[in-house]
Amino acid sequence: MPISLSDTLHNKTGTWRTFRPIHKNKLPPCNKKCPTGENIQKYIYLLLNKKYEEAYREIKKDNPIPSITGRVCPHPCESKCNRGEFDEPIAIHHIERFLGDYGLELKDNWEIEEKKEKIAIIGSGPAGLACAYHLRKKGYKIKIFEAENEIGGMLRIGIPDYRLPKDILDKEIKKLQEMGIEIETGVRINHPLDLAGNYDAIFVGTGAHISRKMGIPGEELDGVISGLEFLKKLNLGEKVKIGKKVAVIGGGNTAIDAARCALRLGAEVKILYRRSRNEMPAIESEVEEAEKEGIKIEFLTTPVKIIGKNQKVSTLECIRMELGEPDESGRRRPIPIKGSEFTLDFDTVILAIGEKVDLKLFENIETTSWGVKTDQYTRTTHEKVFAGGDCVTGPSTVVEALGAGKRASIAIDCFLKGEPLPVIKDKKPVTIENINLDYFERKKRKEPEKIEFNRRVNSFDEIWLRFDEKDLLEEAERCFSCGVCNRCDNCWVFCPDLSIIRNEEYSVNYDYCKGCGICARECPRYVITMEEER
Ligand SMILES: Cc1cc2nc3c(=O)[nH]c(=O)nc-3n(C[C@H](O)[C@H](O)[C@H](O)COP(=O)(O)OP(=O)(O)OC[C@H]3O[C@@H](n4cnc5c(N)ncnc54)[C@H](O)[C@@H]3O)c2cc1C
C-alpha cells in the first residue's frame, strides 16, 4: 500500500529512511486462477487496443483450444475477478470465445524445430490434445491413439451441440493436425507400456468413462439407460429411443446435459438428486439454464427401486433424504428418511450418478482409489509414463485437463533432456484492497445474447451468440487490469517533482524523486510500490 510522507522520512527509531517508487507488474487473480495459466489481463489489454490477432495468439501460448474453453469452461478465473467484489466479474469466457472464434479463421504458421524423439499419447480428450500441442510446439514427434472412431473425448461424446457445436471442435482439431500431430482413431491401447518400445515417453489421458451403477432392483429393465451412453449416441448422430416421461438420476454435468437433451427430444423431464443444490457437482450456471428450460429438480430424493410392466420401466420407488456429516468428498452425506418412500411414474430412467476411471489400464503403475497416482507434474510411478486429466483426478473439467496436459509437456521435455523440473512458485495475487477504486465507475457486466427461447428448447442449436464488437470492447473496458500497467499516465500526471519518465516501462529519475508516494497512491491498479532504498 502507498505510504505517507512522514513514513518516508522516519521510522520509529528516528533513523532516516528513503523510499522510492518502483513500477513492477504483479499477478492478477484471474491469471493465477486459470489452470492453464492464461495471461487473461494481457489479452484483454491487447483486445482493448483492437489487436485481436495478437490477443488470440496470447491465449494460444497456453491454451490450444480457446474457442472451446470460451464456450464450456466454468471460468474459475471469473470467480476470483476483483471486479466481482466491486460490481460484477468481467465476462472473461465470452471474451475468450470471441477471440477463439476469431482465431479459427486465422492460419497458425508454426515454425517448429524438429526433434528426433517420439511421444505417444493415449486418448484424444483435452488432456491428450493439450499435451500433444505443447510438445509439438517444442518439436517432438507426436502420435495420439484414440479408442473411439472420433477425436475429442468428452468434448465429442459428452458435451452436446447446444453448448459446443461439433464444427467448432472439428476446426480446433484440424488446427492441431496441421501442426503435424498424428491421430489414429479406433485403436484401444491395453497398457501404456505396450508402446514403450517404440516411443521415448508416453502420456495417458484416458478420462473417466465407466458409468457407475446404482445397484437397485430394476436397473436391467427396458427403458433404463446410462447418461453417458445416451449422450454418446446422440452426439455421434445415432438414433436414440426415449419416452415421454423421463427421470434423470444424478447431479453432475452428465445428468444436466442428459436432461436437457431429453427435453429437446420432446420429453417431460425431472432430475432426482440425493443431496441439495449446494452439493451439486454440475456447473452452477448450467443447472440454472436447465431450470429455465423447464426441467424440474427434486432435491434430497433418490430411487430405491425401478418397477416395470412387461419388462419395461413404469414407476420409480423413491425415498427422501436428509443431509448428515460430510463424507470423504467433503460434501454432506445423504441419509434416507425412514418411512418417506413414495412413487413417481416414468417410462425412461437415465442413470447419471457419475463416471469412474478404468484402472485396468494401469497394472503395475500406482493408482489411488479414484485414478492414477501422479505428482503435480503428472509423473506416474513409471519414469516413462505421465498421466493427466480425468484419469488422474476423476471427473473434473476441460480446463483442468488442459492444465494437466501442459504440465505434462514440461515434465516430458525435462525428462527427455535430463533436466530438473522448474519449481512451481506460489505467488500472491493482487486483491481488491490493492486497487484504487476511486478511479473506477460501477458498470453492469455485458453478456452476448442467447437464441430465442422456443428455438432453444426445440433444437440443438447453440444457445449463446457471440459478443458483438461494441459490447465486447465495453466489457473489456471494465477490466481493472489488476497489478499490471495499462499506461493510464496517472503516475506521470500526479508526480509533483516531474521525476516520472514516460518511456515504455515508465521509469523514475531518482535524482528528482523526493519519495512522496503520490504516484503509488494514485496508481489505480497497484503497479507502483514504495520500496526502501538500501
Ligand atoms: C456430459 C458432460 C458434460 C461436461 N460438460 C463440461 C463443461 O461444460 N465444462 C467443462 O469444463 N467440463 C465438462 N465436462 C467434463 C470434461 O468434459 C472432462 O473433465 C474432460 O473432457 C476430461 O478430459 P480428459 O482428456 O481427461 O478425458 P476425456 O475427455 O474423457 O478423453 C479421454 C479419451 O481417451 C480415450 N480412451 C480411453 N481409454 C483409451 C484407451 N485404452 N486407448 C485409447 N484411447 C482411450 C477416450 O475414448 C477419450 O476419447 C463434461 C463431462 C461430461 C461427461
Q: Residue 10 has what pLDDT?
A: 47
C-alpha cell at 502: 514516460
Residue 534 has pLDDT above 80, yes or no: no
The ligand 1 atom at the shortest distance from the C-alpha of residue 355 is: 53
Helices and strands per DSSP (H, E), number in the chain? 19, 20
Specify whether the CB–CB gap between 11 and 20 falls below 8 A. Answer: no
Specify whether the CB–CB gap between 387 and 374 falls below 8 A. Answer: yes
pTM greater than the 0.75 cutoff: yes
Which residue among 209, 398, 399, 407 is best mutated to probe the pocket of ligand 1, counting the most ligand atoms within 8 A of its Cβ?
A: 398
Does the CB atom of residue 123 touch ligand 1 within 6 A?
yes
Does the CB atom of residue 254 touch ligand 1 within 6 A?
yes
CA gap 528, 519 in Å, rounded: 7
Does the CB atom of residue 146 touch ligand 1 within 6 A?
yes
Domains and CATH numbers, the chain: 5-25+485-532 (3.30.70.20), 29-106+435-477 (1.10.1060.10), 118-208+357-417 (3.50.50.60), 212-354 (3.50.50.60)
- Ligand 1, atom 21, lies closest to the CA of 154
Does the CB atom of residue 401 touch ligand 1 within 6 A?
yes
Does the CB atom of residue 158 touch ligand 1 within 6 A?
yes
**What are the DSSP E strand ranges found in 108-213?**
118-122, 141-145, 182-184, 201-204, 210-211
Task: Give the sign of the dihedral formed by CA 448, CA 452, CA 453, CA 455.
Answer: negative
Q: Residue 329 has what pLDDT?
A: 77
Taking the CB of residue 531, how many other CB atoms lie within 10 A of it?
Answer: 12
Q: Is 59 left (phi over 0), alpha (psi -120 to 50) or beta?
A: alpha
CA of 206 from ligand 1 middle (Å) equals 8
Q: Residue 16 has what pLDDT?
A: 64
How confident is residue 2, by pLDDT bands cut at 50, 70 and 90?
very low
Interval 202-251: pLDDT, tens = 999 999 999 999 999 999 999 999 999 999 999 999 989 899 999 999 99
The ligand 1 atom at the shortest distance from the C-alpha of residue 227 is: 1
Interval 119-136: pLDDT, tens = 999 999 999 999 999 999
Q: Residue 5 has what pLDDT?
A: 47
CB contact burial 434-461 (16+ within 10 A = b; e otherwise) = bbbeeeeeeeebbebeeeeeeebbeebe
Residue 339 has pLDDT above 90, yes or no: yes
Among 133, 105, 109, residue whose Cα is nearest residue 119? 133
Interval 512-526: pLDDT, tens = 998 999 999 999 999
- Helix ranges (H only) for 351-489 are 390-393, 398-417, 453-457, 469-477
Does the CB atom of residue 160 touch ligand 1 within 6 A?
no
- Ligand 1, atom 48, lies closest to the CA of 153
Mean pLDDT of all residues belonging to the chain: 94
Interval 21-46: pLDDT, tens = 999 999 999 999 999 999 999 999 99
